[in-house]
Structure 1
Amino acid sequence: MNQFYMTTLSVSVLLISIIWYIKSLRKTPPLPPGPRGLPILGYLPFLGKHLLHQFTDLGHKYGPIYKLYLGNKLWVVISSPSLVKEVVRDQDAVFANRDSPVAALVGTYGGNDIAWSPYNSQWRAMRKIFVQEMMNNRSLKESYSLRKDEVRKTITHVHTKVGKPVDIGELSFRTELNVIRNMLWGGIIEGEEGKRIGAEFRVLISKIVDLFGKPNISDFYPVLAGLDIQGVKKNRWKIICNPWTDTVSGGTDTTATTVEWAMAELMKNPDSMAKAHKELFDVVGSDNMIEESHMPDLKYLEAVIKETLRLHPAVPLLIPRSPAKSSTIGGYTIPKNSTVLINVWSIQRDPSIWDNPDEFKPERFLDDNGNLDFKGNHFHYLPFGSGRRVCAGMPLAERMLIYLVASLVHSFEWKLPTEGETLDMSERFGIVLKKSTPLFAVPTIRLHDSNLYM
């Protein structure tokens, strides 16, 4: 009897141990580590002006995935290629939703556009039409004459400004705006009227982009969204835009900003500028203007654009994602509806990945990283994002970036307006990473035949 009792007890203990072990395996992983905040406010009071540097420093302290509460909203910041892969590739469908700020939802009819829409059938249809009708190779080849005309007009305009300061960002924006308006609507407004409308449109787009990236109380305390404390919904008429306006803003502001950064880096690094000039002379010559057919042979200029986007990614934290259900990344739980940021700026300056990461060195994309492209398949280089939500306008942006920068560099020499002036390379953080001070540069003619500028 005692032996039977002992056998039964042993079996029971064994079964209980097995059940406990199985339950322990099913235990929900913990949340990521992160800094402690204050009650109700979370980490909000401790955020500084230089968020990219602050987020990177927090990553160094807490690891490549960490959390912080901003208000009562949980934010998760990721800054390692392997963890990025889990988000944008392994669990892409789970993390394909956007965490849209209130201003973006109001300004786009509830996220009724490609950038801010939830991941659903409507978004898939919009993106499919946009990519297949505008961004495919056939459409881009057929629209080359539009891009060529606008770039040539830009060169002609700069020719009239020789010896005078030119706002590179404004110049690039107007060129991009005319290209996209022409592709969308088949015409542009010429002359002074066109310049006026372009300038006004740039102000409007800048305000929209800044507003979409500006924190709103409701973004940190969703329970207060109905109160509209900051009047975003009440003033929706000031920020409302349709999907096509969204396309224009996405294709102009980010591309113009990157052109401005590229020109600033070349002016700051005379050796790189000299190499670009030599390549242009070898490929294009001094008696021709740039054509898109030259682009495949301009390897160094392509590397310049890639290096510019490495140091100055247009959207440095990408557009926030939000998991459709609770998930596990890097062994940590990421709750449903939390905000997930991918710190591309930090990854692309990581010294464990990049040699001398803060140095502008286009040559790195001609050597070991020569196979890196913009498609998001290399998780340590994601200037256009990756996965289902990779930038839909990437094919056009890639063409225009190289074409416009190459044309400006080939046609003119550039210098700062004041002798001995130091080029300001400081950043102004927002949803789009811009220069703190606009780049004004003075052009002088490089090509011998003045007819090329007409």
Structure 2
Amino acid sequence: MMIIRSPLLRKRKMDFYSTLLCLCCTWVIFQAFRKTRSTAISKKLPPGPKPFPIIGNLLDLGDKPHKSLAKLAQIHGPIVSLKLGQVTTIIISSAETAKEVLQTHDQLLSSRTIPDAVRAHKQDEFGLPWIPISTQWRNLRKICNDQLFSKKALDANQNIRGMKLQELLAETRQSSLSGEAVEIGKAAFKTTLNLLSNTVFSVDLANLNSDTAREFKEIVWNVMIEAGKPNLADYFPLLKKIDPQRARQRMTVYFGKLMHLFDHMISQRLQEREVAGSAKCNDMLDTLLNISEENSEEMDKTKIKRLFLDLFIAGTDTTSATLEWAMAELLHNPVALSKAQAELEQVIGRGNPVEESDITRLPYLQAIVKETFRLHPVVPLLLPRKAKADAEINGYTIPKGAQVLVNAWAIGRDPSLWDNANSFMPERFLGLEIDVKGRNFELIPFGGGRRICPGLPLAIRMLHLMLGSLVHNFDWKLEEGVKSEDMSMEDKFALTLQIAHPLRAIPIPVYSCTEEFSWFSRRTVPYLAIQSFVL
């Protein structure tokens, strides 16, 4: 029996949902008014712009909150109070106040404000960046520090990362021979994904003949968008029940696709481990499965999947975006590019590969990476914190339950800290004992305190290795005659900060084919021989 739905019936249905949404919004507004009138804050909040009724200061955020909030800091000072809907939010915009949040009052301010979209698949109950400081958090953190990202663990599989790097250089050489431009962000993401997937699973998740890298990047970027864009449910908690913008619904789909992939990888490895005499990969997955077998309460299949979800989302897009920014700045500043190439030739030598162990001998390359982090921190507002008790900073009260955002972008461009703060000048870091490990609050791209990103050691290795290799082996020119001074350096905001116009550049080999084959064969022949033997 066929049911015919008339336009009138569809219209009535739409009217019903519209009326329902209006009623919900009216109820939220009533509750907001009632709460505002009944809870006068007697404590001294930091200064800030006057909020509008109901919506508060939401209009002050704009489409690039990191820049809008930096301007508010210039008016009101380094610690600013905003009312975002019903949520009291404190913005930190100086190194001094960041130290108060990330170190002095870290114990009081280390909880998280959870974006509603992140609650998809209950990731907030399992994800290391989101769960509260607890026994579960400490166990996960200990596993990351002692097992996954320790110097010993990373040294053990650096040869695998070296192979993935050579594949990037081989593809780049093919582009140079044909005169085609390389889309730097795309190439960086694919390499980062394979570097990470080989460290974790000992396999490529992005093959030459598949669309996996493109699909994976699309999922990760969509996750970043959903987690970073304004969501009414975050500002009016009563709306979380109805998810009015469907952000959590979309995030459920994205998380589901990634967890399905990880579930398949874990199940496959468990089957392989049951086969007598099977060789172990000694990668991150094997390490976590060994821990699971010893103590199932500390680690199990569910926790492994959730850890991988955090690792791949946090470790792929952020690293590739930083590499793209670094290459963009070098092409925008050819003198800095020439200095980097000169250092690499002097320290590494013509035709020799850049190794992870070489990084400490390349101060200018390190300075380039630091300067990129300063100007373009990929998580410009860090992850949101939440006060679990009242805290006093600079004579102002951060009330219990308030959201705290640290504007790392504003700190990196603070003219009181940096000369020519908006200029790309790697030389400023030469001879300075400033690093990105959370000890120097002028430069905190990975955060600080107990919540600092645990994947920092791996990210630093991958970033220096990729950037150094691309600069050492190729000259670069912009396509279609674009001049370096005419490059657009605009950004676009999500949870991570991306370059608004994808960087495309044509590689020109620095060394001859003979020289490149010489070092390429030295590194690949032993590996291929081993692979042939295993197969």
Q: If the length of structure 1 is used for normalisation, what is the TM-score?
A: 0.90
- State the percentage of identical aligned residues: 37
CA distance in structure 1 between the aligned counterparts of 2:99 and 2:340, rounded to whole angstroms: 34
Structure 2 residue aligned with 1:418:
480
1:80–1:234 CA distance, 2 compared to 1 (3 A) = closer
Say whether residues 1:319 and 2:334 are aligned partners: no
Contact 1:108 1:243 in 2 (8 A): no
Deviations 1:331-360 (A, max 9, x none): 111112211011111111111111111111
The correspondence for 2:363, drawn from 291, 299, 306, is: 299
Aligned in 2, Cα 1:46/1:30: closer, same or farther, shift over 3 Å? same
Matched, 1:140 2:154: yes
Q: What's the counterpart of residue 127 of structure 1?
A: 141
How far off its partner does 1:118 sit? 2.1
The 8 Å contact of residues 28 and 333 in structure 1, kept in 2 or not, is answered as no
Q: Distance in 1 between matches of 2:313 and 2:249?
A: 23
1:333 aligns with 2:397: yes
Rounded Cα–Cα distance in structure 2 between residues aligned with 1:191 and 1:354:
43
Q: Which residue of 2 aligns with 1:179?
A: 195
2:450 to 363, 366, 388: 388
Q: Give 2:430's aligned residue.
A: 366
Counterpart of 2:349 in structure 1 is: 285
Asked if structure 2 preserves the Cα contact closer than 8 Å seen for 1:99 and 1:322, the reply is yes
- Measure the CA separation in 1 of the matches of 2:119 and 2:396: 29
Aligned partner (choices 164, 181, 184) of residue 165 of structure 1: 181
Give the drift of 1:431.
1.5
Amino acid at match of 2:84: L
Amino acid at match of 1:427: D
From the superposition, tell whether residues 317 and 151 of structure 1 become closer, same or farther in structure 2 (CA, over 3 Å). same
Q: Within the alignment, does 1:218 sit opposite 2:280 as a pair?
A: no
Worse-superposed segment, 324-333 or 173-182: 324-333
| Displacement after TM superposition at 1:54 (Å) | 1.4
Where in structure 2 are the equivalents of 1:182-201 lying within 5 Å?
182-188=198-204, 191-193=207-209, 195-201=210-216
Which of 228, 232, 254 does residue 239 from structure 1 map onto? 254
Cα separation, 1, equivalents of 2:152 and 2:168: 25
Q: How large is the RMSD of aligned CA atoms in angstroms?
A: 1.7
Residues 49-96 of structure 1: per-residue CA shift (max 9 Å, x gap): 232221111111111111111111111101122221111111111111
CA contact (8 A) 1:155 1:453 kept: no
Q: Which SS does the other structure have where 1:75 is aligned?
A: strand
1:249 matches 2:313 = yes
Three-state SS of the structure 2 residue aligned to 1:178 is helix
Q: Which has the higher helix share?
A: 2
Change (3 A) 1:190 1:51: closer
Check conservation: 1:111, 1:117, Cα contact below 8 A: yes
Task: Give the partner amino acid of 1:143.
Answer: N
Per-residue CA distance 1:161-211 (angstroms, 9 max, x = gap): 111011111111111111111111122257434x41111111111111111
- Once residues 111 and 361 of structure 1 are traced to their aligned partners in structure 2, the CA distance between those partners, rounded to angstroms, is 42
- Aligned residue in 1 for 2:129: 115
Deviation at 1:366, TM superposition (A): 0.3
Q: Secondary structure at the match of 1:192?
A: coil
Output the CA distance in 2 between the equivalents of 1:190 and 1:106: 26
SS of corresponding position for 2:159: helix
- Aligned AA (1:393): G
Whole-Å separation in 2 of the counterparts to 1:56 and 1:190: 38
Q: What one-letter code is carried by the residue in structure 1 that aligns with 2:364?
A: Y
What amino acid maps onto 2:183 in structure 1?
D
CA distance in 2, matches of 1:432, 1:143: 28
Q: What letter corresponds to residue 377 of structure 2 in structure 1?
A: P
Q: Secondary structure at the match of 2:476?
A: strand
CA change 1:380–1:233 in 2 (3 A) is: closer
Instruction: Return closer, same or farther for 1:53/1:425 CA change in 2, 3 Å cut-off.
Output: same
Q: Distance in 2 between matches of 1:237 and 1:59?
A: 36
- Is residue 2:242 matched to residue 1:227? yes
TM-score by length of 2: 0.77
Alignment-derived partner of residue 52 in structure 1: 66
* CA shift for structure 1 position 293: 2.2
1:239 deviates by: 2.7
Secondary structure (helix, strand or coil) at the match of 1:66 reads: strand
Distance in structure 2 (CA, Å) of the matches to 1:283 and 1:83: 39
> Alpha carbons of 1:233 and 1:53: their partners in 2 closer, same or farther (altered >3 Å)?
closer
1:138 counterpart letter in structure 2 = K
Deviation of 1:437 (Å)? 0.8
Aligned partners of 1:156 and 1:103: how far apart in 2? 39
Once the two structures are overlaid, the 10-residue window that deviates more, 147-156 or 419-428, is 419-428
- Where does the alignment leave 5 or more consecutive residues of structure 2 unmatched? 1-40, 260-305, 522-535
2:498 & 2:77 partners in 1: Cα distance? 27
Rounded to whole Å, the distance in 1 between the matches of 2:107 and 2:454 is: 17
Cα pair distance change 1:374/1:279, threshold 3 Å: same
Q: Indicate yes or no: 2:158 matched with 1:94.
A: no
* Native 8 Å contact 2:447 2:453 kept in 1: yes
The 1:427/1:107 distance shift into structure 2, 3 A limit, reads farther
Does the CA-based 8 Å contact 1:104-1:111 persist in structure 2? no
The CA deviation string for residues 124-163 of structure 1, in whole angstroms up to 9 with x for no partner, is 2112112211110100100101110111111011111111
* Paired residue secondary structure (2:211): helix
Q: Work out whether residues 106 and 232 of structure 1, in 8 Å CA contact, stay in contact via their aligned partners in 2.
A: no
The 3 A distance-change label for structure 1 pair 85 and 46 is closer
Report if the CA contact (8 A) 1:159-1:453 is conserved: no
- 1:69 matched to 2:83? The reply is yes
Does residue 270 of the first structure (1) align with residue 340 of the second (2)? no
- What is the CA-CA distance between 1:37 and the residue it aligns to? 1.7
Shift of 1:108: 5.0
User: Residue 433 in 1 paired to residue 497 in 2?
Assistant: yes
Distance 2:112 2:99 in 1: 17
Distance in 2 (CA, whole Å) between partners of 1:265 and 1:383 is 17
CA contact (8 A) 2:193 2:205 kept: no
Q: Secondary structure at the match of 2:364?
A: helix
Residue 107 of structure 1 and its aligned partner are, at CA, apart by 5.0
Secondary structure in 1 matching 2:89: strand
Where in structure 1 are there 5+ consecutive unaligned residues?
Answer: 1-26
Aligned-pair CA distance for 1:119: 2.2
Q: State the secondary structure of the residue aligned to 1:441.
A: strand
Distance 1:438 1:90 in 2: 40
- Secondary structure in structure 2 of the residue aligned to 1:36: coil
